[in-house]
Structure 1
Amino acid sequence: MARTVEGEYEPPIVNFGEMGPIRCNRCNANMQFVDAGRRFQCLMCKLTTDVPTEYFQHLGHTGQRVDKYERPELVLGT
């Protein structure tokens, strides 16, 4: 990764523990939450998978998780 320069924040490190990061079961790509946050759909292969219960969070009126700004893995790059 690139080095940070003066004035930049260090990127946060997210530890999902034994569960690991939430990814597509088929192709390991990123996901988009659907079905009120209960499932996610892969952005690459379109597979729909249930969200693990320990990672579930409801979606707000904009279709985004209500805890989006509390989870760096969801807010970075947007």
Structure 2
Amino acid sequence: MARTVESEYDPPIVNFGEMGPIRCSRCKANMQFVDAGRRFQYLMCKVTTDAPIEYFQHLGHTGQRVNKYERAELVLGT
């Protein structure tokens, strides 16, 4: 990563613990939640996989995770 200058903030770091970040094993892309949060669809290769039980969370009426604001990786940059 490039070094930050005085007027910039350091990039946020999210610790996923032992599980690590959720990524596609084929394309390594980010995902979107589908099937009421039970599955992920990866944005580049369109593969759909089950969400790990540790990461599952129901979706609200807006299609967003109920615990969205408790997960930094879901709200950073928005």
TM range (shorter): 0.7 to 0.9
Q: How many pairs are equivalent? A: 77
Moved over 4 A (4+): none
Q: Which residue is equivalent to 2:75? A: 75
Specify the SS of the correspondent of 1:54: coil
Q: What is the deviation of 1:12?
A: 3.1
Percent identity over paired residues:
82
Q: Which residue is equivalent to 2:62? A: 62
Q: Which residue is equivalent to 2:23? A: 23
CA distance in 1, matches of 2:38, 2:48: 10
CA contact (8 A) 1:25 1:49 kept: no
Note the aligned Cα RMSD (angstroms): 1.7
Q: Which residue is equivalent to 1:52? A: 52
TM-score by length of 2: 0.83
Q: What is the deviation of 1:16?
A: 1.3
CA distance in 2, matches of 1:70, 1:4: 29
Q: String of CA shifts for 1:12-45, please: whole Å, max 9, x gaps.
A: 3211122110111221100000000000100110
